Amino acid sequence: MPVFLRYLVFQLPSWMLAVAILGALVWAETVPGWVAASLAGMLVLKDLLLFPRMRRAYEPGPTDGGAAMLGALVRSDTVLCPVGYVRFGAERWQARLVDPSLRAEVGETLRVREIDRLTLLVEPTEAAGSEAHTARETARD
């Protein structure tokens, strides 16, 4: 379904409710017909003018929030040796390095490879891979 049509389908119930309420007010002679028609028109116009800003919310995408995270870049919040925490946007997630022999420092950029329940399985990016320490023993020295 095209995005614009999807947007209109979601707006339709509110338009119908507004028309029903305004129709009842006109029938009860509380509001003149021209005022009710103007208000209904302004509601539809408002929704049509907001479409460019709302378009992205109605575009089809991953239905699973986790699917959108796969392949995303995250920044380590703590040292990962091999477990720690990373930042994905404004959220802090527990993370585990895919290769437990690696170590990631604070602020290092990592890529999400898998999701295991509420833990992100990450690996260093190409640029960060050279900075990653290849053995945990080097951290102890």
Rounded to an integer, what distance in angstroms lies between the CA atom of residue 31 and that of residue 6?
32
- Kindly list the averaged pLDDT for each block of 10 residues, start to end, along the chain of length 141: 90 95 95 95 95 86 72 93 91 93 93 92 72 42 46
**Residue 55 has what pLDDT?**
87
Residues 46 and 113 in one domain: no
Nearest CA-CA partner of 105 in 61, 57, 58, 138: 138
Q: Where are the beta strands (DSSP E) in the chain?
A: 73-76, 83-88, 91-97, 109-116, 119-124
* Residue matched to tokens 């703590």: 78
Domain that residue 13 falls in: 3-58
- 33: tokens are 């017909």
Rounded to an integer, what distance in angstroms lies between the CA atom of residue 14 and that of residue 65?
27
Tally of domains within the chain: 2
pTM exceeding 0.75: no
Nearest CA-CA partner of 117 in 81, 99, 93: 93
Residues 52 and 76 in one domain: no
Residues 33 and 54 in one domain: yes
Residues 28 and 80 in one domain: no
**Residue 64 has what pLDDT?**
64
